[in-house]
Amino acid sequence: MPRRLLAFSVATISLLLISSASPAQIVPDYSSERAQIAAPQLHRAEPPSPKETPEALEKQGDVLRGQKFFLDALDYYHAALAKQPKSAVLHNKIGIVMLQTQRLQEARKEFDKAIKADKEYADAYNNLGVVYYALKKSGKAIPQYKKALKIREDVASFHNNLAASYFDRKDFDQATTEYERALELDPTIFERTSQTGITLQLSSPADRAHYDYVVAKMFAKLGRPARSLEYLRKAMEEGYKDINNVYKDAEFSTLRKDPRFNELMAAKPPGIPE
C-alpha cells in the first residue's frame, strides 16, 4: 500500500501530528511540537540520577528525544514519572516516544493515561487520534481529533489530522473544510508537515491522484495559484482520471485565466491516461 507524506502529525496524517513541549521550543500551550516516526538509536546516556528533580529529569528526556536517542529519553521520562506518577505531560511524552518508535499499542495506553490524568489535555486526544490513524482506524481517530478541537479549536495540526482521516474515509467535502481551516491558522502547515508527521494513508495511486486534485482545488479557491498548479501537476502526473473537471469546477475559474494554467494543460505531464 503506497504511502507519501502528507503535505499533514502528521504524520503526522499530519498528519502533523503530535504535540508536546520540546527542549528547543518550550511554549506554554498544547501545540508546541510535531514529532515524526523514526527508528530508535542505540545510544546510551548516563543513567538518570535518583537525586535529580522530576523537572530536571523531564528536561533531560526532552534533550535526548530531540537528539532521537529515544530509549534513553524513556529512561529519563520514566524516572520523572516515578516522582510525579499523575503527570499527564509525562504520559503524553512517553506516548510520543512510543509512537516515534512505532510501538503503537503502548503509545495508545500512554495517551489514555494522559487523558485520565487531565481530561482537558488537547494534545493527548490528538495524539490518540494519530495512533488510531496509524492503525488504519480513521473512524476511531476522528472522534479523538474532534475532542482535541473542542478544547483547542485554534491548533492547525488538529484540523490537518482530522482532514486526513476524513480523506481516508473518502469524505472529501469535510476533508477540504478542515484543510482550509488548517491553512487559515497556519499557512505553512503543508510545507512543515511534508517533512514531519505520520504518512497519509492512501489505498491506491488513484486515491493519491484524487487527493492532489482536491488540494489543487483548495489552493485555487484560496487564491494561491502557484500551489494550486503544483498540486494540479501532481494529479496529472499520477493519472487523475477526471482531470477535465478542471475546466468546469468553479474553484478553478480564476486559475483558468492564468497563462501558467494553459501551459500546464497543454504540456500534459506524463501519466495522464489517454
Domain membership of residue 230 (yes or no) is no
Domain that holds residue 67: 3-203
CATH number of the domain where residue 169 is located: 1.25.40.10
Q: Count how many Cα atoms sit within 13 Å of the Cα of residue 133 in the half-sphere of its side chain.
A: 41
Q: Position of cell 472529501?
A: 172
Domain membership of residue 241 (yes or no) is no
Domain membership of residue 15 (yes or no) is yes
Domain membership of residue 193 (yes or no) is yes
- pLDDT by residue for the chain (274 residues), tens only, comes to 443 333 333 334 345 545 554 333 323 333 455 544 555 555 577 888 888 999 999 999 999 998 889 999 999 999 999 999 999 999 999 999 999 999 999 999 999 999 999 999 999 999 999 999 999 999 999 999 999 999 999 999 999 999 999 999 989 899 999 999 999 999 888 776 544 455 566 657 888 888 899 989 999 998 999 999 999 999 999 889 999 999 999 999 999 999 999 999 998 776 655 4
Record the pTM. 0.78
Domain membership of residue 148 (yes or no) is yes
Domain membership of residue 223 (yes or no) is no
Number of domains in the chain: 1
- Contact criterion met (CB below 8 Å) for 30 and 19: yes
Domain membership of residue 165 (yes or no) is yes
Residue among 144, 127, 224 nearest 180 (CA): 224
Cell of 169: 474515509
List the alpha helices (DSSP H) in 48-171.
54-66, 70-83, 88-100, 104-117, 122-134, 138-151, 156-168
Question: Which residues, in sequence order, are CB contacts of 179 under 8 Å at separation 6+?
Answer: 159, 160, 163, 215, 218
Domain membership of residue 111 (yes or no) is yes
